[in-house]
Structure formats: structure tokens, C-alpha cells
Amino acid sequence: MSREHIHFVTGRLAQHALEEILQEISVDAGFDFSIDVLPITVAALMTPEWIAKHINVPSAASRVLVPGYCPAELEALQSVVAVPIARGPKDYRELPEFFSLAPLESDYGRWDIEIIAEINNCPQLTLAEIQQTATALVQDGADVIDIGCEPDGCWSEVGDAVRALTAQGYRVSIDSLNPWEIELAVRAGAELVLSVNSSNREAAADWGVEVVAIPDDPTDADRSLDETVDLLAQAGVPLRIDPVLEPIGFGFAQSLGRYLDVRRRYPDAELMMGIGNLTELSEVDSAGVNLLLLGYCQELAIRSVLTTQVINWTRSSVRECCAARQLVFHAVNRRVLPKHLDPSLVMLRDEKVLEADQEEIARLADAVRDANYRVFASGGEVHLVSRGLHLHDADPFVVMEQLRQSGPERGLPKNLDASHAFYLGYEMCQAYTASLLGKTYRQDESLDWGLATGEQPRHYLHHRRGEDAQA
């Protein structure tokens, strides 16, 4: 069987680096290749319409690969090319993964851990605020909205809040120890009651909904929790068990052990874990904590978690739990490591940093013939490249001062106008941040913050874009 022949489209500046990497990977990846170096310096500026005017596909080619920056609408190009066209990665250094990375298993994305998202201190909020918060939590992936009441409170409007949320199609739980509050909530449509212990368990049979049994005192869970579970079971009340997760320094390790002990004593019971006791009360970004706790839950068959988003470092906990439950489900059920499946929880630092080396940037600086500015992060420094110009320093303010002093004899404006200064300052700030944290920087693109990445339109700054495209 003949090998596939892939025709790569690129610009002049990437030609040699692309040739080198294709020589390295083409044998193992099982394809022959040709490279079409089009008359443009920067491949990111190509459009399908422009490529269609310049491309020259050899007869042996079975597929054409254009740069990943090329817009997705390839009809104009496909109309003049007889073989299939696809977009490759945005960075040629990603080509090995592009060809060798196996596709995700077809069942990736499945999960069996329910996310209960609590709205704290609901009696202090307006009904509109409760509805708005609930909608945001559901959009983030919450399965159940928990109405958080106040200790020793007596909130007469709890039924109104539950009815409003169920009318929106949301599943609702009530977190209260007050039987009167709970009664109002379940009559209005709450399907789950959190926090049932010796103080209110006698009333549970009258509510007609599932409850979560907790110990009176977590340190004495064997006795008080067993008594509550036994009473509820005898009354025919459907239940989940939560031995209560404690914060670090207040019995965290022992509380993890209690979940193991409860699973041993009640092998078929439904369990719940309130993970907010750790995420809210530990001064650390919540994503990693959520992944570890959901991994623990997955292995122990704890099928529901209660989370909160009160303190700022937990503001995306529901979204994190949604990503984490898919990751741990796949890892546990497929017996694979939870990596190289979904990078959305890698937020602070990238898995790997792709950056041009010093020699590559130097070659680029010698080859550039246009006045466009190109920003790079490499070797712990911010680099600025243009025609006859290569400035670099670890401090972007120093680079900006170097640019200001470079003068019109370097082919630059006599005075850097406001739009240029803002653009370059913004891009160099991103490059500096990427270098500081260990992230990949690509000019005109947002840094990759995992699931926290926001949309960022690409704002090009070109003195003579038309001239460069035709050069």
C-alpha cells in the first residue's frame, strides 16, 4: 500500500524549520510530504482566497494541510484543489502531537458524579438574585441547586425560592436542620434534604423525599451517624450518607478515613461529600483540589458532591468539577492515568511551553523585510522583531525604552503613536506573563488558562499589510 502524501502550505519564514521537523516525523507518522512555500513572510496572514491564487499542489498529493491560523471556511481554496484540505496546528512545533496523538476514547465525557451547587445564605438574597445565581450555576454544569439556609434561622420565604427555581426547570435541594423550613421547601418541590441528624430525623418520614444523613459530631460518627441511618432505613426514607469532610488542621485526614469506613460498613449505600469544606477553607486555587477529591469520590463510588463558590479562588468550582468528573470517570473505568485527555484543568501553567529559540529568532530578525512588529517570549526574555530590529530583555519596559530610542534610522516611526504603543505594551505584557509562569505565548492570542480562558479577538498591527502580503 502506498504511503499518504501530504502537501504542506507555509510562508517563507517557517520554511526551514518546517522542513526539519517533517524530516524527523514523516517516517514514523507514515507519510511522504512536499512543502509549498508561498510568497508571504508570515503564514498566519494567509486567507483561503489568497492561498488559492498561489498554491501549486503536486499530482502525488493526497491531502493538503494549511496552517492552523487559516480561517475555517476553506471553500474558496477547496474549489481549486482536487484533494481534501485540512487545517494543521497553529504552531509547527505541535506537528508531532498532531500526527501521533491517538483520538480520545469514544466514551470520554461520561460521568456518574452528581454536582450539587449551593447558593449560600439565601435568606439574605432577593429572589431575583437567587434565580440569577442558580441560572449561572446550571449553565456551568450544576445538576442540583441547593438552597442554603442560615443556622438557627426560620426563613418563611424558602418555599417561594424553591418554587421559582423549579418553575425554571431546575432540580432543587434544601440545606437546613429546621424541620419547619424543610417542610416548606419540600412542599414547594425540593427533592433532596441535606443535613439530617438526630435533631430532625424523626420528621424525615413525613417529607417524602431523599435525605442526606450526617453525624451529630463528625468525631463520633460511628455512633450518631449509624443511629440516624438505622432510623431512616427503618422508616423507609431514601438516603445518602455524608460522614463530613473536615478542613486541613481540623481532622482532614481522619475525615477521609471515615468515608472509607462508611463505605466498608455500608457497601451498597449512596454517599455524598461536601467538598466545599476543603476548597473554601484552603488558600489555594480550587481546580487541583477538586480533581483530587473527585478522584477519591470516583474510586470510592461516592456519587454526589456538594460544592460552593463563595471565596474568589473557588469562583469556577462547578466548571472545574464538571471537567474533573469526566476525567476521573475515564481514568478509573479505563484504568488509565488522568492525563493527555482534557487539558482544561491545567490553568496556571501549560503542559509544555512552545517557544522559538534564540537562534531561530535571530534568523527571523535577519530575514524580515517588512515593518510589522513580532513579539516572542523566549529564554526568559521578551523579544521584539521587525525590519532591521531585534530588541530583547527580561523587562518589557526596557524593551519599550529600547524601541523608543531606536530612532527613525531603523525604519521605525519617529514617534511611536498611541495605538502602536498600546498594542506592543499589551502583547509584551502577555509575553512577560507567559515567560514568568511557564506558558506558551503566541502573538495576538490569549494565553491558555484552561477552562478559564476568555475569548480574545485577534488584533493585528501592520504598517503595510498589503505590501507584505504581496512581497
What pLDDT, in 10s, does the model give residues 391-414? 999 999 999 888 888 765 554 555
Q: Give the whole-number percent of the chain exceeding pLDDT 70.
A: 92
* Domains of the chain, first to last: 4-100 (3.40.50), 114-339 (3.20.20.20), 358-470 (no CATH)
Read off the pLDDT of each residue in 236-243 and give the average, rounded to a whole number: 96
Grid coordinates given for 25: 516525523
Read off the pLDDT of each residue in 193-204 and give the average, rounded to a whole number: 95
Give the C-alpha separation, 172 to 165, whole Å. 7
Q: What is the pLDDT of residue 468?
A: 39
Q: What is the pLDDT of residue 414?
A: 52
Residue 471, helix vs strand vs coil: coil
Contacts of 383 (CB under 8 A, 6+ apart): 361, 375, 376, 377, 390, 391, 392, 399, 431
Residue 345 has pLDDT above 80, yes or no: yes
Read off the pLDDT of each residue in 133-137 and give the average, rounded to a whole number: 97
279-310 pLDDT, tens digit per residue, is 999 999 999 999 999 999 999 999 999 999 99
Q: What is the pLDDT of residue 96?
A: 85
Whether this prediction's pTM lies above 0.85 is answered by: no
Q: What is the pLDDT of residue 1?
A: 52
Strands of the sheet containing 31-37, edge to edge, are: 31-37, 4-10, 63-66, 85-87
> Dihedrals φ, ψ of 443, to 5°?
-55, 140
> Who wins on pLDDT, 404 or 174?
174
Q: What is the pLDDT of residue 411?
A: 47
CA angle 348, 349, 350 (to 5 degrees): 130
Give the C-alpha separation, 167 to 161, whole Å. 10
Q: What is the pLDDT of residue 104?
A: 39
Q: What is the pLDDT of residue 421?
A: 84
421-431 pLDDT, tens digit per residue, is 888 999 999 99
Q: How sure is the predictor about 415, in pLDDT bands with cuts at 50, 70 and 90?
A: low
Residue 382, helix vs strand vs coil: strand
Residue 469 has pLDDT above 60, yes or no: no
Read off the pLDDT of each residue in 270-286 and give the average, rounded to a whole number: 97
Q: What is the pLDDT of residue 101?
A: 42
72-96 pLDDT, tens digit per residue, is 789 889 999 999 999 998 877 788 8
pLDDT, mean over the chain: 89
429-443 pLDDT, tens digit per residue, is 999 999 999 999 999
**CB-count exposure of residue 382 (10 Å: 0-12, 13-18, 19+):** buried
Residue 471 has pLDDT above 60, yes or no: no
Q: What H or E segment, with its residue span, contains residue 229?
A: helix 221-234
Q: What is the pLDDT of residue 152?
A: 82
Minimum mean pLDDT among 124-128, 152-156, 213-217, 416-420: which range?
416-420
Distance of CA 416 to CAs 168, 228, 387, 403, 406, Å? 54, 73, 16, 9, 11
Residue 255 has pLDDT above 60, yes or no: yes
